[in-house]
Amino acid sequence: MITTHTTPWPNRQIHLLFSIALSSLLVLGTVRIILDEMKSDSNPFLKLVYGGGNRHNKVIMRMPINISKDELIEEGCNLFEGKWVLDNISYPLYTEESCPTLVKQVTCQKNGRPDSLYKNWRWQPNSCNLPRFNALKLLEILRDKRMMFVGDSIQRGMFDSLVCMLQSVIPREKMSLKRIPPRKIFIAEEFNASIEYFWAPFIVESNSDNALNHTVKKRLVRLDSISNHSKQWEDVDILIFESYIWWMYKPQINATYGYPPNVQEYNVTTAYRLALETWADWINTSINESRQKVYFMSMSPTHLWSWEWMHGSDGNCFNESSPIHDNLYRGTGSNIEIMEILRNVLGNLKTDVTLLNITQLSEYRKDGHTSVYGESRGKLLTKEQRLDPKNFADCIHWCLPGVPDIWNEILYAHVLKDYHLKRIKKHNPPPF
Ligand SMILES: *[C@@H]1O[C@H](CO)[C@@H](O)[C@H](O)[C@H]1NC(C)=O
Ligand SMILES: *[C@@H]1O[C@H](CO)[C@@H](O)[C@H](O)[C@H]1NC(C)=O
Ligand SMILES: *[C@@H]1O[C@H](CO)[C@@H](O)[C@H](O)[C@H]1NC(C)=O
Ligand SMILES: *[C@@H]1O[C@H](CO)[C@@H](O)[C@H](O)[C@H]1NC(C)=O
Ligand SMILES: *[C@@H]1O[C@H](CO)[C@@H](O)[C@H](O)[C@H]1NC(C)=O
Ligand SMILES: *[C@@H]1O[C@H](CO)[C@@H](O)[C@H](O)[C@H]1NC(C)=O
Ligand SMILES: *[C@@H]1O[C@H](CO)[C@@H](O)[C@H](O)[C@H]1NC(C)=O
Ligand SMILES: *[C@@H]1O[C@H](CO)[C@@H](O)[C@H](O)[C@H]1NC(C)=O
Ligand SMILES: *[C@@H]1O[C@H](CO)[C@@H](O)[C@H](O)[C@H]1NC(C)=O
Ligand SMILES: *[C@@H]1O[C@H](CO)[C@@H](O)[C@H](O)[C@H]1NC(C)=O
């Protein structure tokens, strides 16, 4: 049987998409951050950075940033086309235990997930290789810089993932993670590098901007207002934006645009375009490309309906323990119109913003979600809730270690390349 996907806005889907997403959005406000159990003394790199193993030694050696040819993405290689390859030697890049800053929401093993293969997949692009992630190199590139992830809880997962990927090379007393809502700030002291997360689920302003206590159902988006947010992003060296799931509650959304700020219902696609243009305008006028770089993450796919990959079934991502291997697979949770808007707006910018198009590669990973091994409204699911995956499985957020680590490896590949290009430019400035 061929399933038809012609209705652009099947109500049940949009509704579900959002209500599940919400269950874990409140977490930011409820997590205490404890840094303990860090055991990184044995790492040979640290001896190098911190001077012969004496971690109290004030003299820090700077690593020269050497980027070899095979660490640079080859010209013309599309990193986003490829396949998942099982690799339990190199993956996971860290463990739940080695990353004490991980929040309960994503530590699926600790929360009782019985299978673990989901942590062992490497993304293999078709026509080139991803460079091996090197935390010290990234920290050295980020020396005296700020990097900031802006978006919703999906984006927060990516931030949490990167913080874990970096921790293995930093002694515990040389790092800190602070929560100053709407921000989370990770600092690698010895590098004076700051990696941050900023809660802005619509990017533009809305009545959901309180990171600790946001209205969930009666959302109201201010499509032409961004300055309250953007003034906190202004001087950030590397910015990574994302916004999707919060728009997808109903086909329409209440919003204001222009003056007087009358509330009107907008089609979600129209509203998304207007919001993105407000953002684009800020990018055009505020980003200085000689010292700043901007990325945009495409939508993170959902796996809410198992009939999409297994005809005749009636479940969701629960119980899924391996990726989809059909490379033509495409779920209906990723809205094509929104993708087109993204393409149009990014394509019309004065500034060069790099789209990290992780949608398709993540589309295959029906096994990567927290499912019933996460939280609902800031609390781990109860035994009873776990037995009811139809209502309680979270097929939007991802386990860590897991899929967002690969997004960060791709981001890393781009950061290396940008750094390299900038260095070449500096040493060989154009004639005029
Ligand atoms: C890794 O995978 C191989 C082949 O599937 C398997 O034999 C081996 O036991 C696995 N190792 C670990 C540590 O899981
Ligand atoms: C530390 O980094 C910030 C940017 O995040 C920069 O403004 C400041 O000058 C740096 N401090 C030193 C001592 O270099
Ligand atoms: C959250 O916000 C609502 C509406 O503004 C308010 O009524 C409620 O008291 C707030 N809750 C907390 C815990 O601050
Ligand atoms: C922006 O911040 C100002 C001052 O804090 C506040 O008065 C205003 O309401 C905010 N604007 C929006 C759209 O939230
Ligand atoms: C917009 O707001 C009105 C008034 O609060 C409400 O009745 C309506 O359902 C809202 N529309 C949407 C799409 O949420
Ligand atoms: C809003 O969406 C509906 C249904 O998809 C469509 O018929 C209508 O033309 C759209 N309105 C606008 C203003 O784009
Ligand atoms: C950004 O700048 C480009 C090139 O000048 C222009 O075509 C585009 O319309 C601008 N976008 C916005 C939203 O201002
Ligand atoms: C952009 O930054 C560079 C380096 O800091 C500076 O020299 C230049 O004047 C800036 N350009 C603008 C338009 O502010
Ligand atoms: C989950 O998978 C196991 C093993 O494949 C199977 O026995 C069980 O029936 C599945 N449960 C559900 C709810 O699909
Ligand atoms: C992202 O990739 C998908 C498929 O891999 C493609 O369909 C889509 O158009 C791409 N998005 C943009 C904005 O280029």
The pLDDT tens digits for 154-189 are 999 999 999 999 998 999 899 999 999 999 999 999
pLDDT at position 377 is 78
Examine the pLDDT at 249 and tell me if it is beyond 70.
yes
Rounded Cα distance between 344 and 358, Å, is: 17
Q: Is residue 342 part of a domain?
A: yes
174 phi, psi to nearest 5 deg = -105, 15
Same domain, 214 and 305: yes
Same domain, 142 and 25: no
Same domain, 42 and 78: no
Residue 412 structure tokens: 């890393």
The sign one gets for the Cα dihedral 370, 376, 381, 386 is: negative
3-class SS of residue 333: coil
Peptide bond into 404 cis (omega under 30): no
Q: How far is the CA of 285 from the centre of ligand 4 (A)?
A: 21
Examine the pLDDT at 426 and tell me if it is beyond 70.
yes
Please give the full DSSP string across 237-265, using - where no structure is assigned. SEEEE---GGGTTSSEEEEE-SSS---EE
Specify burial of residue 108 (Cβ count, 10 A radius: 0-12, 13-18, 19+): buried
Same domain, 146 and 32: no
Q: Is residue 397 part of a domain?
A: yes
Q: Is residue 184 part of a domain?
A: yes
Contact assessment for residue 375 and residue 27, using Cβ atoms and an 8 Å cutoff: yes
Same domain, 280 and 317: yes
Same domain, 220 and 102: yes
Residue 206 annotated as catalytic: no
pLDDT at position 91 is 97
Same domain, 42 and 159: no
The percent of residues above 90 in pLDDT, for the chain, comes to 75
Same domain, 398 and 273: yes
Q: Is residue 284 part of a domain?
A: yes
Same domain, 28 and 140: no
How many domains does the structure of the chain reveal?
2
**H or E stretch covering 207:** none
Q: How far is the CA of 160 from the centre of ligand 2 (A)?
A: 23
Examine the pLDDT at 13 and tell me if it is beyond 90.
no
Q: Where are the alpha helices (DSSP H) in 24-76?
A: 44-49
User: Checking phi first, is residue 263 left (phi over 0); if not, alpha (psi -120 to 50) or beta?
Assistant: beta
Q: Which of 215-219, 269-273, 419-423 has the lowest mean pLDDT?
A: 215-219
Q: What is the mean pLDDT of residues 415-431?
A: 86
pLDDT at position 22 is 44
Residue 153 annotated as catalytic: yes
Same domain, 33 and 172: no
Cβ 146 under 6 angstroms from ligand 2: yes
pLDDT at position 17 is 52
pLDDT at position 50 is 46
Same domain, 278 and 363: yes
Ligand 10 atom showing the smallest separation from residue 340 Cα? 13
Give the closest residue to 339 by CA, choosing from 328, 347, 350. 347
Contact assessment for residue 137 and residue 65, using Cβ atoms and an 8 Å cutoff: yes
Domain hosting residue 180, numbered range: 68-427
pLDDT at position 61 is 67
The pLDDT tens digits for 317-335 are 999 999 999 989 999 899 9
pLDDT at position 383 is 93
Same domain, 249 and 122: yes
The pLDDT tens digits for 18-43 are 444 444 333 333 232 222 223 333 34
Specify the residue with its C-alpha closest to ligand 9, atom 8. Answer: 319
Q: What is the mean pLDDT of residues 82-106?
A: 95
Q: How far is the CA of 213 from the centre of ligand 3 (A)?
A: 6
